Amino acid sequence: MIAALVIGMGFLAWVSTSNSMASVTFKDIGYRTTDATQAEVDFQVTREPGTAVKCAIKALDSKFAVVGWKVVDIPPVDQSAQGQSADGGRTLAQRVVLRTESQAVSGVVDSCWIPKPAAS
């Protein structure tokens, strides 16, 4: 009984540690609409330097309807670039240009995730 409890606690610790080490976070910085057909979204992504990330970006109109959407790939940072930032290359600034169906009044990151490796 005690052995099962210890194994279970060890497994939970491993799962929570592995999830936190492979996490990705994002922060909206700003947006700009150039005209009714285009918007730019600025954001930051924080993840482990050797980790590729995908982010879904959306532009919204005044009624919060999605008028533009794009999934972008953020490649891993190479070793030489890691020393150039204060956090070792974990946080990257990104600017994404979106095509829009009508005038956007805001642009935000919907979500970011670490893609699963392709099956070979």
Q: Tell me: the pLDDT tens digits for 1-16?
A: 665 444 545 544 444 4
Look at residues 59, 62, 65, 61 and name the one whose alpha carbon lies nearest to residue 110. 59
The average pLDDT across 65-81 equals 86
AA identity, residue 118: A
Does the pLDDT value for residue 120 go beyond 90?
no
Q: Are 53 and 24 in contact (CB under 8 A)?
A: yes
Q: How far from chain centre, in Å, is Cα 1?
A: 42
Question: Looking at 24-33, 69-78, 80-89, which range is the least confident one?
Answer: 80-89
> So what's the pLDDT on residue 77?
79
Look at residues 87, 100, 78, 107 and name the one whose alpha carbon lies nearest to residue 25. 87
> So what's the pLDDT on residue 87?
72
> So what's the pLDDT on residue 49?
86
Burial of 14 (0-12, 13-18, 19+ CB in 10 A): exposed
Q: Are 66 and 60 in contact (CB under 8 A)?
A: yes
> So what's the pLDDT on residue 13?
47
Give the Cα separation of 82 and 74 in Å (integer): 15
The average pLDDT across 84-93 equals 77
